[in-house]
Amino acid sequence: MTVTPLQALPVERLRQRSSTKWRTYPDEVLPLFVAETDFPLAPGITKRLATAVELGDTGYTPPDPGIRDAFSAFARRRFDWEVTPARVRSTCDVMMGVTEILRAVTEPGDRVVVTPPVYPPFYDSVPEAGAVVERVPLARTETGWELDLAGIDAALAGGARGVLLCNPHNPTGTVHTRESLAALAEIVDRHGAFVVSDEIHAPLTHAPAVFTPFLAASDAAARVGYAVTSASKAFNLAGLKCALMVTASPETQRVVDALPDEVEWRTGLFGALAGLVAFDESSDEWLDSLLAALEHNRRLLAELLTEHVPGARYVIPDAGYLAWVDLSALGWGDNPARKILRDAKVALHFGPKFGAEGAGHVRINIGCSPEVLTEAVRRIGALVD
């Protein structure tokens, strides 16, 4: 069945938004940095939020707004993953969930492995929880990136207490294989450690890649793992504040159930209402249309870089709408996004923010119209000697 790609909103309409993407830089700058998309909301979400505003339904989030069951059904439908609703608990956003779980499973000074280049807030959430970051960079392969399992094994053997996983990985867009995740779980289980898996980009996995939830990778993964996820990336709901903490064993469930009540009270009511609709089957058609639009853009970017920015190195991502591009060959320094912002008036995410491995790199948000993406790359190309 052919799926019609979702159409992005016109730039003049987008500039009426008040979010970070459209308020950080002046109008002459094309913003392709922060992880917000330029598409209209799924119709069911718009309708549900409009009804809530009309009713003045802006009070406290109830103990069970229905999102646990909705996510369980979504996970079964989209990932072939059986999630027990009683093992799902909500909070404000993914990084808050990550931080609170880390706080519960570590002691002050414990080391937690991260796998750079990786989402910059990982470097903040670990110390916020009282732990210390231990870096085990992704291994670069001929076709992309993968977990350095031997490096993680060595770090845990050396005393690290656990792993903060990004699955799918931001910024590379890597979808870790079931085999890799199962091998990670065996290593972690052997060392008596844990994995906290950020799975916020999971709904945006592009075929033929197949997303494997960490908790479903193996029996060992179910024992040692915690997953934190949200509808916010796929459905552009970051400002509404609702994430889900998921477990798959009695032991890990007890840890999450023992978190302070305030962790769950921080869930935004509008986030829960919007997430409930996002995870409903009625929104699947919209999500498939979004994926079709992103499928076009991730390949369009490859063509544009080849034409306008020779020397750029780009591996088409397995998931998401964030592209990791190596511009080292252009000689624009460790942080080429600064030159691009100043001289091309295009805002990209700074590569070094993702770790030392990000030197010479930029992250480009392709969750926009093909026209905006084309104009942005043409502007960057004009800077190439």
Identify residue 196 by its one-letter amino acid code: V
How many domains does the chain fold into?
2
* Statement to judge: residues 98 and 220 lie in one domain: yes
Would residue 1 count as lying in a domain? no
pLDDT digits (tens, 9 = 90+) for 136-160: 999 999 889 999 999 999 999 999 9
Mean per-residue pLDDT, 282-294: 98
In the chain, alpha helices (H): 11-14, 20-23, 43-55, 67-79, 94-105, 122-128, 149-157, 178-190, 219-224, 232-235, 250-257, 261-265, 269-278, 284-308, 336-339, 370-381
- The pLDDT mean for the chain works out to 98
| CB-based burial label for 381 (10 Å; 0-12, 13-18, 19+) | middle
Q: Please tell me the predicted confidence (pLDDT) of residue 24.
A: 98
Q: Please tell me the predicted confidence (pLDDT) of residue 385.
A: 77
Question: What CATH number is given to the structural domain containing 162?
Answer: 3.40.640.10
Contact present, 207 and 178 (Cβ < 8 Å): no
Residue from 43, 39, 47 nearest 14 by CA: 39
Q: Which residues pair with 325 in a beta bridge?
A: 314, 362
Would residue 154 count as lying in a domain? yes
Contact present, 77 and 301 (Cβ < 8 Å): no
Identify residue 200 by its one-letter amino acid code: I
* Statement to judge: residues 297 and 179 lie in one domain: no
- The helix/strand/coil state of 108 is coil
Would residue 5 count as lying in a domain? no
Q: How many C-beta atoms lie closer than 10 Å to residue 51's C-beta? A: 11
Q: Please tell me the predicted confidence (pLDDT) of residue 143.
A: 86
Question: Which of 282, 317, 334 lies at the terminal end of a domain, its last residue?
Answer: 282
* Statement to judge: residues 197 and 135 lie in one domain: yes
* Statement to judge: residues 359 and 308 lie in one domain: yes
């026209």: which residue's tokens? Answer: 371
Its domain, for residue 168, covers 47-282
Identify residue 330 by its one-letter amino acid code: L
pLDDT digits (tens, 9 = 90+) for 316-331: 999 999 999 999 999 9
